[in-house]
Structure 1
């Protein structure tokens, strides 16, 4: 019998033949490092499409198509595609124009900037973006966040010129940060914003945005710059004598109209265009009503003069000198991350519906490029809002050409139609924003989180209330902190469970989950669900000792056979560091002092390499390491019945010395 095999008679303990777990061949450090680096930063292997190309010109074409996706779909573009994109582009333009004006006001910027930001950035994204359905434009949450962060340092009312320059600078930094993440392949950083975090944060921000619109609904001229609920309510109810009933009635009517059209479109999806056209219809009706009744003379505030013409250059408006550059940098990074997370999440959602893939790093480069170019052409931060993208999707868009059509429609508006918005009442813009924000408060998902995962619910809850009762920044910090704490707790306190045997099988499952799972006499099987690192090594050592103590107490109470073998299921242990190796050595010593035998089952390749290099294999004994839990239990049970427990001494029923079994 060879030294590499542990063989048992067929039918004994359900085990036929068990083989020693091999130690994988070690690779050079640089090769391993390069492999791990590639998997971290280049999991999509962007060079794979070039590997099979022989001709240099084909490689050049592939390279240009990789960086400019428009070169990939444009040669295949058809007239039927254009018809679909034309309808979709005009439809989203009808939504983009009123929303752009509304969100610019939300950011305390001139309304015309909302139109500027719906012209240049969509053209840039159409060339660089990989999503067919994303409709680019300004969004509410980053607009509010920009107003909140910049407003703490510079008043938009008292110093509008400097505030505008800081907004352009923050947009430039946001774009540079987004593009940098894409170029450096750091897109995974955005994944630290979990789904629960985004739901809570967006819901809280949407609530704050709605509260801010009370200024327009009530017709107030002075309003708090704070965003928390207490400050807003205090500002509202200390000015009850200044409420304008005309504005309230007008706002409630248009809000009812917008919500009714949305409800109808949800009930009948084929009439999606009714909800999409409702904001522009509200703007037109509101403007006509104010013009005919001269309501601006009776407390209804209007937009006023909008300058005709395309985007003027704003390169000279960027601020790269102290003391204001740092606030612009901070605002740009925070708003850039939020806009990036929203845009990529929306793009991936619609890509899943149409069964195609979008490249996260390409999207980051596209978002970053369009914001940097936008900051030089009088635009502020843009991304892919859900509402506009949903309309684009439902309108039947085929490619990013729909963004170009939308941009052309906005261009025509800028050149010829801006005077028509002079009489647009601000209360209508407030109604449009409130209607859009109510759709972002996803209470159904919050209830679902409560039923499925309480910790995720508290992440969502913390983000929401942090935004509503603190500020947008506080809510984001709370949500990220809770999410990171959860990750750290998972690493520091990995789950350990005791396994049992499902009768008449070789299957071993958790005894606390499967009532049918039975303890194996003389054996305890402990499963570790996670890597073993310095952060959890001490905890695991103590927890394993407690499992052993608890099992021995149960055995004594039942008067059963004493404990002899400790099997550790290492199948879920993907990696181990030197602290984890020291922990295994200490566990081995503790087990030996108790007169027990430590057995390892199913250790992974990385774990085996380190156990071999650290000489732990020699300490434990490679004969006590098995491929599966079933083989380990079979070996231990066989030895318990035939040999002296915990040793290889004695003679089995076949007359073979136990020392020769291994």
Structure 2
């Protein structure tokens, strides 16, 4: 008796074969593999396209809606502010106001410091009050705080410096920075509009952990020139060059007043972070510590005139809003390609960081974050930012964490932060004249220390050694060579891991768990028993051109090993090879040819090839290639237990 059931049922071994308990003489009920109904090319293409780019079915909410309602829903999709803005209340504003003021106190000194990482004047860091306003209207995260971040600032500074010297060609350097920011925004927005956000997933978590940790160490080392008061410092970022530069300046380049300022306030900042970490209610302590440090250090330098004793100070920050930079973006000439290259790299890194941060806090508050929508929002804000004298901005983890703990309710906290930064630019920038560079260096060091996630690295080591290699490769690449090389290593190792997993999929030898009809990996279940005369191999991957030969050869090696073992212990000759195909989600023509070759090889050995539980996609392709006719539909089973019963019965019938 034959029945056709769905693939879902195929995963339940308990229903594949049933023997009525009250009638042992009755033949067991065997379910055969179902063949899906044929699909035309248009249907198949449409389904593939939908699953690849529209797996979340973004248009489902528009079904059955009137024209005006669809328009409003589309507007809310692009500008979520029209959605949550309707329910905005005074109570929510109180939370956003407190959060916005708190992160503003953190971002002002950080923006000044991060602009130095990018080799730009401080006002270009403070000009980043525009992107958060754009994000507040278009972003879907309630918790992300937008602004310049340490890693992207270092990255864009390193890449720009490799093309243009920021001292000798300051104007060209600045224009190239705006050009790179423009193309970073174009890249981010394009990935979102084209729904290609899955591309950033190719940078593995392990590689990101290593890259971020290495970048944090590099950033901290770069701040030694400010904390120690070294005037002549190397422009290289690798640890060897930096330490050589530091030690060469020991006897004549260090300034003790600068060291006192830098080290004392660094201790204060780290202690404030410790307090905030120990007592969550005191989250505001590490948030306001940087601005307090700036105020105290600036006041100290002013009253003692320590700048006359060699303490380096900010000196001058342009007051007021920076003019439009549209005319400064390169749209023609040799710098366009350079700006595009730098922009793509910085855009993807910034995107990876922002989406990861957004998803983290969205999970904490139990709401969904649309990755593609986030990319459009981030891209748009960087495009606008490039035209308003800003360089690349993205989500900041430290500020977002403070924003979250301060009780933000909506993206309005970003608006509050932007207003405070704007007022700072308009009113109080002259007060930063005597701010020592040492305090900015201390603020940056205290901010990036959290990026060295050693706990994650330890966990990666315990879970996956190959991931750990990727993590350490990215880390040491950044620390010992450069940020660009570290990023390249991170991407290369991530791709190498994907290629390794695709080209060398796992296979397993299966045995029967005593007392059941379940067959499992004998390495995982040592008590599983092998079936005499039968070899059961499971392929744990799709079979494509990249791994088809390996899969065939690996199966034959399993078969050869079992033949040798059977001969050594006097077991019956191997007559059947069962290939368990439940994990094989797809197969291409190369994979089908590999199965054909395997079938022919077994025929020469006087063995029978049996297939178990091929999925709908696989069986459809096997049928189209007529391989099912060669193997025989009677040799294709829904469950391994059915296939084994068939093999043992047939063996008993043979003389």
Distance 1:373 1:429 in 2: 27
Deviation at 1:486, TM superposition (A): 1.1
Q: Distance in 2 between matches of 1:15 and 1:350?
A: 57
Deviation, structure 1 residue 323: 2.2
Does 2:436 align with 1:425?
yes
Among 208, 219, 235, which residue is 1:225 paired with? Answer: 235
Tell me if structure 2 keeps the 8 A contact 1:14–1:506: no
* Equivalent position to 1:40, from 52, 55, 62: 52
Query: Which whole-Å CA distance do the structure 2 matches of 1:358 and 1:22 have between them?
Result: 38
Using the alignment, how far apart are the partners of 1:416 and 1:586 within structure 2? 78
Please point out which of 154, 158, 162 is paired with 2:168.
158
How many angstroms does 1:239 deviate by?
2.0
Task: State which of 443, 458, 481 in structure 1 corresponds to 2:469.
Answer: 458
Q: TM-score, normalised by structure 2?
A: 0.96
The match for 1:382 is 393
User: Is 1:52 matched up with 2:64?
Assistant: yes
Contact 1:18 1:631 in 2 (8 A): yes
CA contact (8 A) 2:536 2:580 kept: yes
The Cα shift of 1:552 comes to 1.1
1:235 aligns with 2:245: yes
Q: Does 1:444 align with 2:455?
A: yes
Select between 532-541 and 175-184 the one with higher mean Cα deviation. 532-541
Alignment-derived partner of residue 367 in structure 2 = 356
2:308 maps to 1:259: no
User: Could you report, residue by residue, the CA deviation over 1:521-572 in whole angstroms, capped at 9, with x for unpaired residues?
Assistant: 2211100000111111111221111111111111112112222211100001
- Secondary structure, counterpart of 2:245 in structure 1: helix
CA distance in 1, matches of 2:120, 2:46: 48
- 1:656 is aligned to none
Cα distance change of structure 1 residues 13 and 202 upon mapping to structure 2, 3 Å threshold = farther
Structure 2 matches for 1:604-619, cutoff 5 A? Answer: 604-619=615-630
Matched, 1:213 2:213: no
Alignment of 1:563 with 2:563, yes or no, is no
1:115 corresponds in structure 2 to: 126
> Conserved in 1, the CA contact under 8 Å of 2:111 and 2:147?
yes
* Residue 84 in structure 1 maps to residue 95 in structure 2: yes
Structure 1 residue 428, shift from structure 2 partner:
0.2
Rounded to whole Å, the distance in 2 between the matches of 1:148 and 1:607 is: 49
Residue in structure 1 matching 2:146, options 119, 136, 141:
136
Q: Alpha-carbon deviations, 1:106-138, whole Å to 9, x = none?
A: 111000111111x11110000000000000000
Task: Name 2:346's counterpart in structure 1.
Answer: 335
Matches within 5 A, 1:302-317: 302-317=313-328
- The corresponding residue for 1:398 is 409
Offset from partner CA, 1:83-124 (integer Å, 9 cap, x none): 00000000000001010001001111000111111x111100
Distance 2:25 2:638 in 1: 16
Q: Deviations over 1:31-59 (max 9, x none)?
A: 11111111111112111111131x21111
| Mapping 1:454-533, distance limit 5 Å | 454-533=465-544
The structure-2 alpha-carbon separation of the partners of 1:406 and 1:9, relative to structure 1 and needing over 3 Å to count, comes to: closer
My pick for the range that moved more, 342-351 or 149-158, is 149-158
Q: Is the 8 A contact 2:19 2:26 kept in 1?
A: no
Contact 1:449 1:456 in 2 (8 A): yes
C-alpha RMSD over aligned residues? 1.8
In 1, Cα distance between the equivalents of 2:484 and 2:53? 29
Matched, 1:182 2:192: yes
Native 8 Å contact 2:108 2:126 kept in 1: yes
The structural deviation recorded for 1:4 is 9.8
Say yes or no: does 1:298 pair with 2:304.
no
Q: Deviations over 1:501-532 (max 9, x none)?
A: 00001111111111110101221110000011
Alignment partner of 1:625 out of 617, 631, 636: 636
The structure-2 alpha-carbon separation of the partners of 1:14 and 1:334, relative to structure 1 and needing over 3 Å to count, comes to farther
SS at match of 1:384: strand
Shift of residue 22 of structure 1? 2.2
What SS class does the counterpart of residue 630 from structure 2 fall into? helix
Cα distance, 1:473 vs structure 2: 1.0
CA shift digits 1:152-211 (9 cap, x unpaired): 121111121111111111111101111111111110111111110110000011111011
Superposed displacement of residue 19, structure 1: 2.8
- In structure 1, distance between residues paired with 2:26 and 2:144: 58
Spell out, residue by residue over 1:373-415, the C-alpha distance to the aligned partner (whole angstroms, 9 max, x if none): 0111111110001000000000000000100111111111111
Q: Indicate conservation of the 8 Å contact 2:192/2:373, yes or no.
A: yes
Contact 1:174 1:333 survives alignment (8 Å): yes
Where does 1:548-559 land on structure 2 (aligned, <5 Å)? Answer: 548-559=559-570
Runs of at least 5 residues in structure 2 that lack an aligned partner in the other structure? 6-15
* CA offset digits 1:454-473 (Å, max 9, x no partner): 00000000000011111111
Structure 2 residue 279 is the aligned partner of structure 1 residue 268: yes
**Aligned partners of 1:134 and 1:607: how far apart in 2?**
43
Pairing partner for 1:201 from 211, 219, 222? 211
The equivalent position to 2:551 in structure 1, one of 510, 533, 540, is: 540
Render the CA deviation track for 1:188-241: whole Å, top value 9, x for unaligned: 111111110110000011111011111101111221111111111122222221
Whole-angstrom CA distance in 2 between matches of 1:324 and 1:165: 9
Structure 1 unaligned residues grouped into runs of 5+: 646-662
Task: Tell me the TM-score normalized by structure 1.
Answer: 0.95
**1:174–1:371: 8 Å Cα contact kept in structure 2?**
yes
Distance change in 2, residues 1:14/1:511 (3 Å): farther
C-alpha deviations, 1:603-626, integer Å up to 9, x for none?
011111111111101100000100
Change (3 A) 1:127 1:16: same
Choose which of 35, 48, 56 in structure 2 pairs with 1:23.
35
- Mapped partners of 1:335, 1:76: distance in 2: 36
The one of 623, 644, 652 aligned to 2:654: 644
In structure 2, the residue corresponding to 1:524 is in which secondary structure? strand
Aligned mates of 1:7, 1:203 — CA distance in 2: 54
Q: Distance in 2 between matches of 1:211 and 1:205?
A: 10
The aligned counterpart of 1:659 is none
